Amino acid sequence: MSSEAAVEAEIVTYMRSLPRCYGIKLHGDIYQVNQPDRIFCLQGRTVVIEVKRPGAKPRPGQIAILRKWRNAGALAMWADNVDKVQRKLREAGLI
């Protein structure tokens, strides 16, 4: 089974391969509890991703924060593999 770090590395590699994409990693601390792991701007659209190891799901607080990002207009998701990210980006018309 892949680790969360391996899944994150695969997602970052994929996102960096896309034109007009820039992203940063958020390092969790007491001021950023439940914030997503990665924030990207892809073709002018904010994309936030909470990364999980395969089979894992986000905590309720993480889901609540993703909902806040979504309500603000971001494409907000959690993913345990790069295929899910690609599918969500395709559905949003970003790839």
Helices 82-91 & 4-17 angle (0-180, nearest 10): 40
Indicate if the pLDDT at residue 28 is higher than 80.
Answer: no
What's the chain's average pLDDT? 96
Assigned CATH class of 4-91: alpha beta
Indicate if the pLDDT at residue 76 is higher than 90.
Answer: yes
Q: pTM of the prediction? A: 0.94
What value does the mean pLDDT take over residues 21-48?
93
34 or 30, greater pLDDT: 34
What value does the mean pLDDT take over residues 46-57?
97
Tokens 């990210």 locate to 85
pLDDT interval class at 1 (50, 70, 90)? low
